[in-house]
């Protein structure tokens, strides 16, 4: 299950909720998380969101690494970095989208 939420949010043309945050930590399969993130980035871009926060947790760092490898080649992504320490640090990747 993917939960999308955020202070600034809206709905896609299909009526699904789009927000600045996606909880990938609820995915047990790495491929499922990556597929969900690709779709979420696309929806966020279409909704003209300037950035999204991907919640993947700290753990071993394997999911964070896999997600960052995937978004590195995504043409919708302008840049990405860990959140500030007080906002989740390495457990969250903040992705700035191209506008």
CATH number of residue 23's parent domain: 3.30.1370.110
**How many Å apart are CA 95 and CA 67, to the nearest integer?**
11
pTM: 0.71
Count other C-beta atoms under 10 Å from residue 44's C-beta: 26
Q: How many domains does the chain have?
A: 1
Structural domain harbouring 61: 4-97
Helices of type H across 1-99: 30-46, 62-72
Biggest alpha carbon–alpha carbon distance for the chain = 37
Q: Locate tokens 């995937």: which residue?
A: 70
* pLDDT per position as a tens digit, 29-85: 566 777 788 899 999 999 999 999 998 888 888 889 989 999 999 999 999 999 999
Give the three-class secondary structure for 15: coil
């Amino acid at each position: 299950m993917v939960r999308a939420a955020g202070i600034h949010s809206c709905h896609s043309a299909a009526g699904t909720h789009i927000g600045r945050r996606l909880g990938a930590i609820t995915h047990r399969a790495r491929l499922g998380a990556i597929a969900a993130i690709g779709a979420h980035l696309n929806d966020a871009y279409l909704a003209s969101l300037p950035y999204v926060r991907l919640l993947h947790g700290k753990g071993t760092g394997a999911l964070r690494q896999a997600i960052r490898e995937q978004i590195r080649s995504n043409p919708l992504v302008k840049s990405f970095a860990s959140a500030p320490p007080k906002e989740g640090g390495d457990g969250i990747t903040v992705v700035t989208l191209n506008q």
